Structure 1
Amino acid sequence: MTAALEVAENAARLADLNPSSAVSAASEAARSARREGDNAAASIAERAWGHSLVQCGELATAIRHLRRAVDHGLAADSAELVSEARIRLAYALILRGKPELALGEIDGALNGIQGDALMRIRAQRGAILVEIGRLDEALADLDRALPYLRRIDDRVGVARALVNRGIVHGWLHDFAAAVRDLRESGQVSRALGRGLAVGIVEQNLGFVAALRGHVPAALDHLATAERTIAEHGGQLAAVLQDHGELLLSVGLTSEAREFAERAIVACQREQRRLKIPELRLLLAQIAFLDSDWQRCLEQADLALRGFSRQRRAAWTALARLARYRAKLALGQGERISSVLVEDMVGTLAGSGWPAAEVEARVVAARVSFLRGRPDQGGEQLRQAARARGRGPAAIRARGWFAEARLREENDDPRGAAVAARAGLRVLDEHAAALGATDLRVHSAAHRVELSELGLRTAIRAGRPAGVLEWAERGRANRLLHRPVLPAEDPVLAGLLARLRSVSAEISLGRPSPAHRQLTLERQIRDHCRLHPPQSGGPAVEPVRPNRLGTALGERALAEFVQWDGILHALTLVDRRLRLRPLGPVSLIAESTERLLFALHRLARKGPAQPAAAALLADTARRLDDLLLGPLPELDRRPLVLVPTGLLHSMPWSVLPSCLGRPVTVSPSATLWCAASSAPVRPARTVLVAAGPDLPGARDEALAVAAIHGCTPLVDGTATVDGVLAALADAEVAHLATHGSLNTDNPLFSSLRLADGPLIAYDLERLPRVPHTVILACCDGGRSVVRTGDELLGLSTTFMSRSATRLIASVMPIPDAETAPLMIALHRGMATGRPAPVALAEAQQEMRDRSLADLAAAAGFVSIGGD
C-alpha cells in the first residue's frame, strides 16, 4: 500500500467516527494523492471528504467532492471505487432532494458489479428507498444485502443496514422487528466506537416508540439522541423533526411548531432539501390541530409542491390528505376532485402507512357523502373501520371513529354511540399511560371528534341523559384520575430549588439572564415527562343522572354544552333532567367579555367607576337573562354550575339571580359528584400563609389565623418548603400571595412566597393537600382551557391532588381589598357554614359596602364540591 493510499484509508475511517475532524484529514489526503498521481488514493480521499461534509451539513460542496471521487475511480479503472463513490453520492443527492438522480447513481453503481460489493450497493439503495417512502422495495434490498454483509464481516455495513431495516419495520408497524434491528445496530456501533451512529440508533428507537404511542420512552430516546449526535458533530434536523412529530401526537402544538421550525432552519443550513417538504407537512398538521385551517392549507400546498418536485408519490398523497382536511374544515369540500381523492387513497393504501390510510379513507368518505354518493362513502368507512382491532392506540381509536360514522350514516345512533365509547376507552387507556399532566391534557385533542359524534347523536335524538353522558365524556377527563406518586425525586427537587433561586434574583432586579429561567423550566418539564407518576386506575365513567340527582338533593345543576355554534343547558332538578338551547355562543361570549371588561374597569379607583358599575349592572342582567333566565326550574335553589369554554372565567356572583345564592362551579358533574361524596375531614389543622410584597396580605393572614386559633406563616417563615410541608398536613389552607397564571406553560403558574415561587409542579409532588383551599390572589381560580374543556392551572392542580373544595378568583383582583371578604368568609366557615354558602353571604355583604369591595369580591368562585 502506498503512503498516499494509507493516509486516504485513515481519513475514510475517521469520516465515519468524527466527521468534523475528518474534513481536514481528507483534504490533506487528497492533496497528497494528487501530488503522487495516485488516482485510487485520490478517489478514497475525495469520498472521505465528501462523506464528512454530508454529515456536517455542507451538501453542495460534498456533492462536488463525491463526483471527483467517481472521476478518480474511473481514472484508476476500479469499478469498486466508482461504486463506493456513487453510493455516497447517491446519499448526498437524496438529502439534497433529488431522489431520481440518487437512484440513477445507485443503479449506475450496480452495473458491472458482482459479489460482495453488489450487496453493499443494494444496502445503500435500500436506504435511499426508505427516504422516499418505497418501503416494500427497500425491505427487499435490505433483506438481500444483510446476509452477505454478515458473511463478509462488514460490521459497519451491517450496522447501517440494520438501522434502515429497523426504520422500515417501524413504518410497517412491525415494532418488535424494528426494535430488534435497531438494538443490534446499536450494539455493533458501540463495539466499533461509532458514537455518531449510536446517536442515530437512539433517534430511531425514539421514532419507533413514538409510532407505538410510548411517549415517555420516545422522549427519553430522543433526548439521548440529540445529546449524542451533537457531541459527535452530527446534524440535528432529523432529531428535531422526530421530536416535533412526537409532541404533535399528544396535541402539544406550540412545542411541536417550535421543533418543526427549528428543524427547517437546520435543514436549510445543512442543505437537506429532501426533508423540508416533510416539515412543511408537519406544520400543516400542527395548524390543523390548532384549528388554523388557512395556515394548514398554505403549508400543505408548500409541502405538495416540494414532494411533487421530488417525485415522492406516497408523500405527495400525504400532503394532499392534509390539504383536503383543511378544505373540508373551511367548508370547501365541493372543490375537492373525487378523482384525486381516489388516487390519494389508492397511493396511501399501498404505502405501508396504516394511520395515513385510515385518515385518507375517512376524508374520502366525507367527500363522497358531500357529493351524494353514500355507497362509496360507506365502503371507505368500512375499510377504515378495519383498523379498530390492531395497531397503536391512535389508529385503533380512529378505526372506531370510522365505525361510529358508518353506523351513524346507517341510521343506527345507538350503535354509533357504542363505537364512539369504544374509541374513547382506547384513548383513555393510552392517556393514562402518559403519566405527565401536560401530556395527558393535550392528548385530549384526539378525543374531540369521538365526543362530538356522541354528543351530536344525543342532541339529534333529543335525549337529555345521552347529552349529559357525552358532555361529561368530553370534558376535564384528567381530573378524574388520581396519579400515584413515585418515591421522592431529588433531581426534580433540585431543579425546582434552582428555579426559585433564579426567579428570586430576577424579582429583586439582580442581573440573571432570562434564558436561565427558561432553561430550568424546560428541564423540569422534560424531567416530569420522562419520570411521570403512575396512573391511579382505570378511566372513570360519567356519572349517571340517578346518582347525580341523589347527590344534588335540594340543589339544582346546570351544565352548559356547546354544539354547532349554539349554547345548550342541561338542568337536573328534583331528579328531572331537561335540555334547552340558550342561544348563539358568539352572543354569549361577547357579553361575557363585556362583563369582564366592566369588572376590570371597576377595580380601578377613579372617576370612571360609576360608569363601569352601570356597564357591569346592565351586562350582568343581560347575561343572566341569556344563561339562567330560560331555566326557571333552577328557582332560588343552591346552584351547581358546570361551565364550558369562556364560561370557565365567569364571575357568577355578579349575575342578579346568583346574588347571595350558594353557587358551586365544577369542571364536570362527575367530578362534583365524586368531590361531594368524599368524606370531609374535620378542620382541626388550618394553614394560613402570606406572601411578600402584597399590601394587606400580612394583616389578612393574622386576622384569618386568629379566627381559627392558629399561627400563620408570614414574613420569612412563609417559604416554599414550609408551606408545602404544612399543606401536606392541613385540612384547610388560606394562601394570601401574589398569583400568576402562565398561559404558555400553565404548570409554571405560581404563588409567590418569601424565597421564590411555589409552582404547580411543586404541588404535584405532594402526597395530599387540604380538602379546602382558599387562594386569596389574582387568577388563582383561572385555568388555561385546552381542547375538550381540559384545564391546567393552580386550582386544577390542587384538585388533582385531592382538594375537594377550592375558593379562588377567576380574574385579576385589587389585592389590597380582599381582606374584608376573606375575613367574612372565614367567620362563616368557622361557624360551620359550607364554603359556597359562606362565600355567597360574604360577597353579598361586600356588595353592600362599596364599589371597591364589590370589585374585590366579584371574581371569587367556589370550585369543586360543596
Structure 2
Amino acid sequence: MTVRRTEDETAHQITLVARDPARAHLHARRLLARSSEPRTRSIALRLLGLAQYELGAVRAADRTLGEASEVADRAGLADAADQARVSRLGLLARRGGGGALGPLLDDAVRPERPAQAFALINRGVSACQLGRFEAALADFDAAMHRMGPDADARLLPGLLCNRGLALMYAGRFAESAEDLSRALALTEQHALDHLRGLTLQNLGCLAVAEGDVARAVLRFDSAEVLLPEQRRTTLRLDRADALVAAGMHREAGALLRSLPRSGGDARPDAEYATTRLIRAKLHLGRGDRTAAAAQAGEVRAAFAPDSVWAELALQIEWSARFVTGRRERPRPVPPSVGAAGTRSGAAEGPSGSGDVDAADDPARPGRSGDPLRLPEWAADLPATAGTARLLADAVATAPLGPPTLAAPRPGHARALRALAAGDRAAVRRELRRALAGSDRAPAAAGHLETAAHARASVAELARLGAEMALSCGDATEALEWLEWPERAGETAPAARRCRDAGWLRLLDRYRAAHVRAAAGDEAAGAELYDLETRLGLAQWHPGCPAPAVGAPSSGPVTHGIAAALDRRAFVRYTRLRGAPVAITLVDGRARAHPLPTAPALGDAIDTLLHAARRDVTAPGTGAGPLTAERAALVARLLVEPVADAVADRPLVIAPPPEAQALPWGLLPGLRGRPVSIVASGRAWLRCRRRRLPRTPRVLLVAGAGLPGAEAEIEALRRERPGARVLSGARAHASALVRELGRADLAHVTAHGGVPADAPMRSGISLAGGPLFAYDLERVPRPPALTVLSSCAVGRSVPSPTGVPLGLGAALLACGGGTVIASVLPVPDIGTAAAMVRLHAALRSGAPASRAVADHLAGSGFVCFGAG
C-alpha cells in the first residue's frame, strides 16, 4: 500500500510540473500557506522544488527538496522522505552530480525502496550525463519493468523521453524515434505541455543526428513556445549545434553569443560541455585551430577520460590538426548612400580567401609535446592528407554525441580503406554507393542559404573521388566526380519559393531598419544587427518546408556538357591533393592542368581587386598600369596554364572559391573574349534552358538616390520601346519582385551593397528600402536575362558545399538564365552609353557573353550563367 500511495503522489506531482511548472509552483505555495500537516507540507515542498528546478532556480530547488525530506523525516514519514531525497538526487544528476552521487543513487534503487522506479530513472539520467548510455538504458528498462504493464500514463512519457534520448546517443535511431513519438503522443493526450516541449527538443536532436537539419529546427521551434525561458538555454544550444552541422557558423556563433554566460564556479555538466564543444567546432569551421583545441582541452580536463564528453573533445583536438583555415573578414558597416561617382551602397570588405597550411601527420605531437592519439574509429584508416581532411570535416560538422556519431558513415570509411589498399575499383564502388545515398538524403530547407550549406561531406567525398581519378590519369572521371555535388542537391527552382508570412515580415522589418539607418536613426543600427542574426536563424519554418529532391539526371554529365559547348571550352578549377588544378573540356576531351602554387592565388586576386577598385574607369577606357600589372599576375596563375588547350575559344568557367569576385575581362588572354562564369557544368546546362525570346518582355528599373539612373533608363527606353518602367516611388522591392516574375529581360540601375560576411543580404537600393538576395527567392520565374547596373552585386561567396551565394547567384539558382553584373564599383560616367551599346548588341542577336566582352568586361562586368 505504501508503494502504491508513493507512486500515486509521484504521478500527481510530476503531472503538475510536466503540464506547467509555473502553475505547479503556485499550487505548491498555496498548499504550504494553508496546511501545517507534515505529509502535505513535504509533498508541497517536493512539488515546489521540482517546479523551481524546471523554472531555472536550481539552488533554491536544492534547498527546498532538502527541506521536504527533513519535514518528512521528523514526522516519521519514510516514504515521503524517500521521495524527496530521490528527487534531490535527480536534480544533482541533471547538474552533473559529484563523486558521492553514484553510491547514493545505488542505495536509492534498492528493491525495498518505495521510490525505486523514480530512483532508477534518475540514475539513468546520471549515466547519460557521463556519456554511459548503455548503463542508462539498463536503468530505464529496469524502471519500466518496476512500473509494470499498468504504469501510470502520466509517469511513462517522462521515462520514454529520457530513454529515447539515450537510444539516440547509443546510435539506435529507429528505437529512439519510436520511444520519443510514443512519449509525444502521451504528452498530447494528457496535456503535459512542458514535457511535450522537452520531447520535441529531443526529437529535434534525433533529426540532427539523422542529418535532417531542417526538420530539427522545426522541432526546436515547436518546443520553444512550450518551454519557459529558463529552460531555453539548452534548447538554443541544441539549435546552435544543428546550425554548426549545417555549416552555418555565423548564425550559430550569433546564437551562442546571445546565451547567458555561466559563472566561473559553474559545475561541469552537459550544458558546460556542450557550450564549449560547440564553440570548439565553430573555431574549427573558421580555421582557428588553436582556439578549437583550447576549448576542447577545457572539456577534457573537466570530465573523466572515459566519458563521452572527453572522447568528443579528443576528436575535436585531433581534427584541429587538419582543418583548412580561412582568414577572418572584417564586419561590414550597414549599407549607406554610395560614394560620389559610383553605384555602391555599402562598404566593401576584402574578397578572396587564402589557405592556411595544415598539418598532414595525424600522429604529430601537440604543442605540449604529448602525442595526440587518433580516435578509435580512425586508427586503421590511411594517414593521408585527403583522409585527414575528410575525417576532420566529419567531426566538425557532426552533431554532438558519442564518438560513433562523429565518425564517417560506414560507406565513407570503406572507401578510405580501399584507397589505402590501392583498390581503385573498390574505391569507385564505395564512393558511388555513399554518394548515391546522398541523392536520397533529406533536402535542406527551401531557402538558398540553408540548401547551400547542406551536404558539405558530399563535396569532400566527391573531391576524394576526383583525386583518385586524377592519380590514374583519368581527367574525364575526375570531372564527373567534381560535378556530383550539384547532382546530389538538384531540386526544381520552383521548390524554393518561400511563402512564410513571418519570414516575409522579418525581411520587411530589416528593410525598414535600413531606411531609418540611412536617415541617421542611431537606434536603427542596433536593430539592424539584431535583425541580421534573426534573418540567419529564421530560415527554417513551417511555411517553407524542405523540397523533395527529385531523381538526379542519370548518366555521365561530361557528354552532355561537351555536346552543348559547340565551339566553346569548359574550364573547371579546383584543388586536388592540396594543389590547384584546372580541368578543361574541349572537343569532347578532358585534360588536367596543374596550376602554379606560388604566389597564393587568393593574395594575387586580393591585390588585383584592391587596385581595380581604386582604378575604376569608364567602360572602354582601359585599366591603369597597376591594375594591368596585377591582372597579368592572376592570368599567369589561371589562364596561361590552360591557354594551349582552350586556344581562342569562348569560355565557360567554373572558378575556384578564391575567384568568385574576379573581374575576368581584365585578365590578359581573356580581354575581348566571351566568358561565362558558372557554379558548375550542370548549373550551366540548367541555365541554358532559359532562352531569351525573339521579342522579350522588357523591364527597366531606376533605383533611389542614384544620379543618372533616370537618364540611363530613359536612354534604354528608346532602345527598348514598349518596355515596362519602374522608377521613383514606384520602384520598390515588392513591385520589383512582382515585375521580375513577368519579364524576360530586366535592367536595373541602382546603388548596390554587398556585405562581405552575408552574401544573401546583398542588395540594391530602391524606394522604401533595399531589395535583397533573399527577396529573389519569392520571384516565381526570374528573367532569362537580367542586367544589374550596380556596384559589385556580381560578387558571390562560396558556401561550404561550393555553391555560390549572392544577388546574381540567387537569380540563377531560382531559375534565371543569364545575369550581367559587375564585381567592381560602377562609375556613373560613361556607363549609360555602354549599357545602350550592350542592349543594341543583344537586339542584333549577339550572345550575352559576346556583348559583355565587347562593351563592359573591361570595367569589371561579368556574364554569369548561360551566356
TM normalised by structure 1 equals 0.83
Q: Secondary structure at the match of 2:833?
A: helix
Q: 2:478 aligned to 467, 470, 490, which one?
A: 467
Cα 1:95–1:336 shift into 2, 3 Å: farther
Q: Secondary structure at the match of 2:409?
A: helix
Matching of residue 243 in structure 1 with residue 243 in structure 2: no
Q: 1:327 aligned to 302, 321, 324, which one?
A: 321
Q: Secondary structure at the match of 1:687?
A: strand
Cα 1:32–1:680 shift into 2, 3 Å: closer
1:508 corresponds to which letter in structure 2?
A
Aligned ranges for residues 250-329 of structure 1 at < 5 Å?
250-262=246-258, 265=261, 273-308=269-304, 313-327=307-321, 329=323
Q: 1:474 Cα deviation (Å)?
A: 5.3
Cα 1:183–1:362 shift into 2, 3 Å: closer
Matching of residue 617 in structure 1 with residue 632 in structure 2: no
Q: 1:438 Cα deviation (Å)?
A: 1.9
Q: For the residues of structure 1 that align with 2:553 and 2:506, how far apart are their CA atoms?
A: 33
Moved more, 692-701 or 266-275: 266-275
Q: For the residues of structure 2 that align with 1:814 and 1:64, how far apart are their CA atoms?
A: 70
Q: For the residues of structure 1 that align with 2:485 and 2:496, how far apart are their CA atoms?
A: 26
Matching of residue 651 in structure 1 with residue 626 in structure 2: no
Which structure exhibits the higher relative contact order, with contacts defined as CA atoms closer than 8 Å and separated by 6 or more residues? Answer: 2
Cα 1:730–1:695 shift into 2, 3 Å: same
2:271 corresponds to which letter in structure 1?
K
Moved more, 514-523 or 127-136: 514-523
2:128 corresponds to which letter in structure 1?
V
Cα 1:103–1:69 shift into 2, 3 Å: farther
Cα 1:186–1:475 shift into 2, 3 Å: closer
Matching of residue 707 in structure 1 with residue 726 in structure 2: no
1:87 corresponds to which letter in structure 2?
V
Q: 1:763 aligned to 776, 782, 785, which one?
A: 776
Preserved contact between residue 598 and residue 612 of structure 1 (Cα < 8 Å) = no
Q: For the residues of structure 2 that align with 1:112 and 1:188, how far apart are their CA atoms?
A: 28
Cα 1:323–1:621 shift into 2, 3 Å: closer
Q: 1:711 Cα deviation (Å)?
A: 4.2
Which residue matches 1:127?
Answer: 125
**Offset from partner CA, 1:579-628 (integer Å, 9 cap, x none):** 221201653322211111111111399xxxx9982211211223223322
Which residue matches 1:52?
Answer: 51
Q: 1:730 Cα deviation (Å)?
A: 1.5
Q: Secondary structure at the match of 2:765?
A: strand
Cα 1:104–1:815 shift into 2, 3 Å: farther
Aligned ranges for residues 105-254 of structure 1 at < 5 Å?
105-111=104-110, 113-114=112-113, 117-149=115-147, 154-190=152-188, 192-230=190-228, 234-254=230-250
Which residue matches 2:458?
Answer: 447
Q: 1:503 Cα deviation (Å)?
A: 3.4
Which residue matches 2:551?
Answer: 538
**Offset from partner CA, 1:225-247 (integer Å, 9 cap, x none):** 122112xx542222112112221
Preserved contact between residue 475 and residue 788 of structure 1 (Cα < 8 Å) = no
Q: 1:670 Cα deviation (Å)?
A: 2.5
Aligned ranges for residues 503-582 of structure 1 at < 5 Å?
503-510=514-521, 513-514=524-525, 516-517=527-528, 522=534, 526=538, 528-530=540-542, 531-532=544-545, 534-535=547-548, 537-540=550-553, 544-582=557-595
Matching of residue 812 in structure 1 with residue 833 in structure 2: no
Aligned ranges for residues 781-860 of structure 1 at < 5 Å?
781-815=794-828, 817-843=830-856, 858-860=859-861
Q: 1:563 Cα deviation (Å)?
A: 2.7
Cα 1:246–1:598 shift into 2, 3 Å: same
Q: Secondary structure at the match of 1:583?
A: coil
Which residue matches 2:380?
Answer: 365
Which residue matches 2:441?
Answer: 430
The alignment yields a C-alpha RMSD, in angstroms, of 3.9
**Offset from partner CA, 1:114-167 (integer Å, 9 cap, x none):** 4x5322322332232233322222222222323553666544422321211222
Q: Please list every run of 5 or more consecutive structure 2 residues that lacks an aligned counterpart in the other structure.
A: 1-5, 324-357, 396-401
Q: 1:491 Cα deviation (Å)?
A: 5.0
Preserved contact between residue 566 and residue 585 of structure 1 (Cα < 8 Å) = no
Which residue matches 2:417?
Answer: 406
Q: 1:638 aligned to 634, 650, 653, which one?
A: 650
Q: 1:643 Cα deviation (Å)?
A: 0.7
Q: Secondary structure at the match of 2:250?
A: helix
Q: Secondary structure at the match of 1:322?
A: helix
**Offset from partner CA, 1:693-727 (integer Å, 9 cap, x none):** 11211111111121011242211222223322221
Q: Secondary structure at the match of 1:729?
A: coil
Preserved contact between residue 486 and residue 534 of structure 1 (Cα < 8 Å) = no
Moved more, 299-308 or 76-85: 76-85
Preserved contact between residue 468 and residue 570 of structure 1 (Cα < 8 Å) = yes
1:633 corresponds to which letter in structure 2?
A
**Offset from partner CA, 1:482-520 (integer Å, 9 cap, x none):** 342569655555554444444333333457644555566
Which residue matches 2:103?
Answer: 104
Q: Secondary structure at the match of 1:753?
A: coil
Cα 1:54–1:815 shift into 2, 3 Å: farther
1:131 corresponds to which letter in structure 2?
Q
Q: For the residues of structure 2 that align with 1:288 and 1:712, how far apart are their CA atoms?
A: 49
Which residue matches 1:82?
Answer: 81
Q: Please list every run of 5 or more consecutive structure 1 residues that lacks an aligned counterpart in the other structure.
A: 346-359, 385-390, 845-856
Preserved contact between residue 516 and residue 524 of structure 2 (Cα < 8 Å) = no
Cα 1:32–1:312 shift into 2, 3 Å: farther
Q: For the residues of structure 2 that align with 1:199 and 1:734, how far apart are their CA atoms?
A: 49
Matching of residue 419 in structure 1 with residue 434 in structure 2: no
What is the number of equivalent residue pairs in this alignment?
Answer: 804
Cα 1:800–1:503 shift into 2, 3 Å: same
Preserved contact between residue 783 and residue 794 of structure 1 (Cα < 8 Å) = yes
Q: Secondary structure at the match of 1:650?
A: coil
Preserved contact between residue 120 and residue 145 of structure 1 (Cα < 8 Å) = yes
- Structure with more helix by fraction: 1
Q: 1:100 Cα deviation (Å)?
A: 3.9
Moved more, 285-294 or 770-779: 285-294
Aligned ranges for residues 347-386 of structure 1 at < 5 Å?
360-366=375-381, 369=383
1:665 corresponds to which letter in structure 2?
I
Preserved contact between residue 394 and residue 427 of structure 1 (Cα < 8 Å) = no
Preserved contact between residue 446 and residue 498 of structure 2 (Cα < 8 Å) = no
Preserved contact between residue 458 and residue 467 of structure 1 (Cα < 8 Å) = yes
Preserved contact between residue 288 and residue 296 of structure 1 (Cα < 8 Å) = yes
Cα 1:263–1:399 shift into 2, 3 Å: farther
Preserved contact between residue 97 and residue 273 of structure 1 (Cα < 8 Å) = yes
Moved more, 583-592 or 145-154: 145-154
Q: 1:750 Cα deviation (Å)?
A: 1.9
Percent identity of equivalent pairs: 26
Which residue matches 2:696?
Answer: 684
Q: Secondary structure at the match of 1:551?
A: helix
Preserved contact between residue 397 and residue 427 of structure 1 (Cα < 8 Å) = no
Q: For the residues of structure 2 that align with 1:540 and 1:394, how far apart are their CA atoms?
A: 31
Which residue matches 1:356?
Answer: none
Q: 1:472 Cα deviation (Å)?
A: 2.5
Which residue matches 2:337?
Answer: none
Preserved contact between residue 58 and residue 271 of structure 1 (Cα < 8 Å) = no
Q: Secondary structure at the match of 2:100?
A: helix
**Offset from partner CA, 1:453-495 (integer Å, 9 cap, x none):** 1122122222221232233335697577534256965555555
Preserved contact between residue 207 and residue 242 of structure 1 (Cα < 8 Å) = yes
Preserved contact between residue 616 and residue 825 of structure 2 (Cα < 8 Å) = no
Cα 1:729–1:193 shift into 2, 3 Å: closer
Cα 1:364–1:221 shift into 2, 3 Å: same
